[in-house]
Structures are given as C-alpha cells and as structure tokens.
Amino acid sequence: MAHYTAPLRDITFARDELLNYPQHYQALGYEEASPDLVQSVLEEGAKFAQEILAPLNRVGDKEGCTWSAGGVVTTPTGFKEAYVQYVEGGWPGLASAPEFGGQGLPGSLSLSLGEMVGQANHAWGMYPGLSNGAKRTIEAHGSDAQKHAYLPQLTSGVWTGTMCLTEPHCGTDLGLLRTKAEPQADGSYRLNGTKIFISAGEHDLAENIVHIVLARLPDAPAGTKGISLFIVPKFLPTADGKVGARNGVVCGSIEHKMGIHGNATCVLNFDGATGYLIGAENKGLNCMFTFMNAARIGTAMQGLNSAENAFQGAIRYARDRLQMRSLSGPKAPDKAADPIIVHPDVRRMLLTTKAFAEGGRAFMYFCAQQMDIAADSKDPAARDHAEQLLALLTPIAKGFLTETGVESAIHGMQVYGGHGFIAEWGMEQNLRDARISTLYEGTTGIQALDLLGRKVLASQGKALAVFTKIVHQFCQAEADNAALQEFVVPLREINQEWGGLTLKIGTVAMQNPEEVGAASVDYLMYSGYVVLAYFWAAAAKLASAQLAAGTTEEGFYRAKVQTARFYFQRILPRTRSHLVCMESGAANLLDMHADDFLIGA
C-alpha cells in the first residue's frame, strides 16, 4: 500500500456495537479488558502498523529475503528493527498466559492487532502470526516441562515458531509424508526428512525458531493414523531457557514467489535433528489441528486484509482521478472532467470491496468471539456451542474470505486502470500478496470438502443448524420491523433454502459420493454469501436504529445501510448461479475421459 490507515472506526463498530465486546469480555471475566484499555491497545497497535510497518511493505516486496551458504536467511531492510520494536512493546504476549509472561488479555484483542499488522505489511505480519499457533499447540498438548521450556520465550517474542507439514511429494495429503523420527535413549527423537513451503522457517528476526513438525515413528501405521508431532528447535534450549547448541535443521533454500516476498518461504532439511514428542504417539495430526485451525483463522483474516487494502487504495484514487463526464451531466463542472467515483462501474467495484471488507470484519470478529468463549468460558454448554460454531464457520471463513479477498484485490487494481499495473501504487502488490491465501492452510477445494463432507453431511446437517438457528432467530425477532424487510425477507428465504439444498446434496451423495466433491466449492461460496448476508442485515439493523435516534455520525451509519442494500441486491444473488451449478450434478465434471483432455492440446 502506498498509504495505510488502520480502520479503527469500523473495527470499533464490529467489535463494540455489532457484537457487544464490552459485555462479552465482562461475561468471560476479562477484568483487565476495560473499554479504555482496549481502545488504548487498538490505538497503539494502529500507530505501530501505520508508522513502522506500512513504510516497510514495499521495501519487503522489492528486496525480498536473501539466502546464503549455511542456510542463513536475511530479511529485508528494516524488518529486524521493526521486530525489535514489536517485542519491546510487549505485543507478542498480549493474549498469552501471565504464567509464561503474557498479559492475559483476550485472544480476540490479539486478532484485532493482527488485522492491522497484516494490512500494513502482509509479509512481516506472518513472522509473529505463526508464533501464535506454535504457542497454542504447546499450551494445548505439551508437557509441563515443554511449556516451561518454550512458552516464556515464545510469549516474549524472543523466539518465533513455525508449522512444518508439507513435503516435496505431498501437500494436503499428509498421510503420504515420509519424515522419520527415531526414538533415542534419553527420550528425545532424531528427525530426518525435508519439509517445504515453511513460512518464516528461517530468518534473522529472533534468536531461536521453534518448529512444530509432523513425522513418523519407525513402527507407525500407514496413512494419517501413523503421524506424530514434535517440537524441533533451531537451537536446543539450555536448562535456564537460553539458546544452546545448534540443532540439525537447516534451510536448504528459499522459494522465489509471486508475492509475500518479505516472508521467507523455506525448504527445511532435518538431518538427525533432535525433536521432542508432543502428545501421544501416532496422534500428531489431532494435535496439529490446534495449530492448523488457528492458521486457518489467520489466513481468513489475510483475505479480509486484502479487501481492506483494495478498498483503501481504490477509494482514495477514485476520489482524485479525473476521467470523463458523468452520463447524467457534469458533477464537477469547475474541473476538466469528473472524478471517476461518479461512474456506476467504479461504484460497483468500490462497493464490492467495501462490502467484503466490512462484512468480512464482522464475520471474523464473530469467530474471534467464539474462540474466546471456547477457550475461557466457565460454562461447558457455552464452550461446546462455540466450538460447534467454529467447526462450521472456520472453513467458510478461510475459503470464502480469501476468495473474495482476491476478487477485491482485482477490483482495487482495476479502479486504477493502467496505473493499477504499476508498482508504486501498491495495488499490484496487494493482488500478488493476496493470491497465496487461497492456497496455503488448505486450498479452497480442501476447505469446501471439509465443510460439506466432514462437517455438514457427516453430522446429518446438525453442524449447519447451529448457525442457521441464529439466523432464524434474528429473522423472527425482526419480522415486524418495517425498516428491515428488504433484508429480513430474503435472508429468511435463503436461510431456509440453505437447509433444503444441503438435504438435496446429501440425498444424491448417498447414491454417488462424487456428488460431494462436485458440489463442494459452490456450496462453500454459497454458504459464505449467506453468512455475510446475516452480518450485513445485523449491521443494517443497528445503523438504522442509530439514524432514527439522531446520530452525529449520520454519514457513517447511512453508508452501512446503503452497503447492506448493495450487498443484498447485487452480491447475494450470486448464490443463484452457485445453486444451479450444484444442482447440475457431477456428470458434467466426470464424464470426460482423462485422456480426452489432451485432444487438440
């Protein structure tokens, strides 16, 4: 981005007005998270993102990371100094347990910080972002000794973390992985193998890197049932928590990528590296889901960030760029031409990015709220309900928000016309950086199979009902609200259709399982549009009430209602094409013989 401004007003709208975070924090016993403290944290986080990270965004893109002999990776100019400031500010431990040096604030507040950091500098934000997943994994599954050995340093940010899954011959299909872990007499393990596409796998920001690694024991069963999870530090920790001997894990190379140049995407070679088992033998994939689910939420946020960056860049340009006259007559007669923001097609692109960014923000902060409840509520029923919601919504958030983030990045670039293709404006970088989000942590197709197959159909629709019930209750409550009928009526109808569509897919899938794969991506996108429709209807309700009461921010709330109207009238109808595609069945995808694809090539 040529310029970045943290969207504090809309963050506050989503958190405090739409989702009532102050009451949420009070109910969970977050006594320290007072409104004043939260606002102070957000404002300081915004300042760090705007003043320190945003100026380094293009620097990181132009310079990239460099690899040198011995596996040494150097990050772009200014990255290390920014990380030092990040650590000195106490940001890595914002939501970590006080027992390990953290501040004990809610995880959702850390997610707000992550939003601003990621918008200001996508590549830089991935270094501390992955550490959060490593911390959660060790907290959830590590022994007491492992927690005390690693969590204080990860919490302070002096050490960072990674997740090491993918290998050259296997991506999503982790049952094929070959990295071996040999038991040693002292209870440790020796790991041998190669991992690829490891984000932040090697760098010069922190004194140690803690790798969370999937590997196989010698007698492990085949497939995913034979995977174990290990902590493999770059440097072995000493008894007093310092950096000790160099471990046998080395960066063999870094990838030359389409985007996120400032983040080192590494090939890591494990050559007799010392590792420590986390959790039970052959249960590593179950443990790793703690990290993977956190990473999926983080990647969903990257999709939102791409939309926000597209909107910020495009709206500034559209207000200033003069091009042609309005079809209904000059809107700026004192100028040589009208600003392009007056043209309907430019409005279409701007409103699309605004709808995805702000609707996606409400969606993400709802998910963050459920994460708080699942982690810290004292009510078992509330925790269970939150976990059920997250199980359903996580693949939707990851798949839908990243796809719409890429679409938004394209719109942001298009608003600039030819200038969007030029590096100095930041729009082409936003698009290049955005593209990875639909691929890593499970492609859109993998998220779709997880949603439709593992979550919705496997539960016979019960997983879906957890959310559709919330939508149904909202529609019931607003059934007599005349001001909201343009939103409530279509929302109620599509919410009912969602359930019926699911039943229809499940019925045909019993005859042919391939129908699940054929429908899955359309089902995920359809689901995402419905989820965002709910949040836009809720936003319209709140904004309408504020306007009726006579707010001093009339423009802000009026824009909410108008964007909701645009979403319902021009974006939500996309579900019709997804519906037709799903109902067309699997035959049009599978009937062609594989060899016939080559005819004419």
Reported as a single tens digit per residue, the pLDDT across 273-321 is 999 999 999 999 888 888 788 889 999 999 999 999 999 999 999 999 9
Tokens 């021009």, located at residue: 570
Cα 521 from Cα 438, distance rounded (Å): 12
The tokens describing 340, both together, are: 């392009």
Tell me, what's the pLDDT at 339?
97
Q: Catalogue the active-site residues.
A: 441
The tokens describing 332, both together, are: 């700026």
The set of residues, in sequence order, having a beta carbon less than 8 Å from that of 35 and lying 6+ positions away, is 16, 22
In a domain, 93, yes or no: no
The answer on pLDDT for 599 being more than 80 is no
Cα 21 from Cα 6, distance rounded (Å): 19
> What is the rounded average pLDDT of the residues 173-185?
92
In a domain, 71, yes or no: no
Tell me, what's the pLDDT at 598?
82
Cα 104 from Cα 46, distance rounded (Å): 20
Angle CA(417)–CA(423)–CA(425) in degrees, nearest 5?
60
Banded model confidence at residue 600, pLDDT cuts 50, 70, 90: low
Full DSSP string of 262-283: TS-EEEEEEEEEEEEEESSTT-
Spatial contact of 442 and 295, defined as CB atoms under 8 Å apart: no
DSSP E strands in 40-179: the ranges are 66-68, 72-74, 159-164
> What is the rounded average pLDDT of the residues 227-235?
97
Q: How far out from the chain centre does Cα 292 lie?
A: 11
Reported as a single tens digit per residue, the pLDDT across 369-389 is 999 999 999 999 999 999 999
> What is the rounded average pLDDT of the residues 568-575?
98
The tokens describing 565, both together, are: 């109207």
> What is the rounded average pLDDT of the residues 127-154?
95
CB-count burial class (<10 Å; 0-12, 13-18, 19+) for 325: middle
Cα 222 from Cα 317, distance rounded (Å): 56
The tokens describing 601, both together, are: 């090539």
Question: What letter does residue 335 receive in the DSSP assignment?
Answer: S
In a domain, 376, yes or no: no
The tokens describing 569, both together, are: 């009238």
Tell me, what's the pLDDT at 294?
87
In a domain, 559, yes or no: yes
> What is the rounded average pLDDT of the residues 109-136?
96
Question: What letter does residue 239 receive in the DSSP assignment?
Answer: T
In a domain, 336, yes or no: no
Reported as a single tens digit per residue, the pLDDT across 506-542 is 999 999 999 999 999 999 999 999 999 999 999 999 9
List Cα–Cα distances, 58 to 20, 64, 202, 413, 431, in angstroms: 36, 10, 21, 16, 13
Q: Which amino acid is at 14?
A: A
In a domain, 552, yes or no: yes
Reported as a single tens digit per residue, the pLDDT across 50-77 is 999 999 999 999 999 999 999 999 999 9
Spatial contact of 179 and 214, defined as CB atoms under 8 Å apart: yes
Spatial contact of 151 and 100, defined as CB atoms under 8 Å apart: yes
Please report how many Cα atoms fall inside a 13 Å half-sphere around the Cα of residue 323, on the Cβ side.
16
**Torsions phi, psi for 336 (to 5 deg):** -65, -25
The answer on pLDDT for 1 being more than 70 is no
Orientation of helix 107-120 relative to helix 35-48, angle to 10°: 20
Question: What letter does residue 97 receive in the DSSP assignment?
Answer: -
Q: Which amino acid is at 460?
A: Q
The tokens describing 307, both together, are: 């939309």
Tell me, what's the pLDDT at 287?
86
Q: In the chain, pLDDT over 90 holds for what percent of residues?
A: 94
Spatial contact of 185 and 247, defined as CB atoms under 8 Å apart: no
Number of compact structural domains in the chain: 1
Q: In the chain, pLDDT over 70 holds for what percent of residues?
A: 99
Please report how many Cα atoms fall inside a 13 Å half-sphere around the Cα of residue 468, on the Cβ side.
18
**Torsions phi, psi for 74 (to 5 deg):** -110, 130
Domain that holds residue 467: 460-590
> Does the pTM of the predicted model rise above 0.95?
yes
Tell me, what's the pLDDT at 601?
62
User: What b/e string do you get for 497-530 counting C-beta neighbours within 10 Å, with b at 16 or more?
Assistant: ebeebbeebbebbeeeeebbbbbbbbbbbbbbbb
Q: How far out from the chain centre does Cα 542 lie?
A: 26
Tell me, what's the pLDDT at 2?
62
3-state secondary structure of 161: strand
Full DSSP string of 25-43: HHHTT-TT--HHHHHHHHH
End-to-end Cα, the chain, rounded Å = 40
Spatial contact of 229 and 146, defined as CB atoms under 8 Å apart: no
In a domain, 533, yes or no: yes
pLDDT, averaged across the chain: 96
Cα 266 from Cα 195, distance rounded (Å): 8
List Cα–Cα distances, 424 to 61, 274, 321, 440, in angstroms: 11, 46, 16, 27
**H or E stretch covering 237:** strand 235-237
Tell me, what's the pLDDT at 174?
82
In a domain, 541, yes or no: yes
Positive or negative, the CA dihedral 211, 258, 46, 535 is negative
> What is the rounded average pLDDT of the residues 242-247?
95
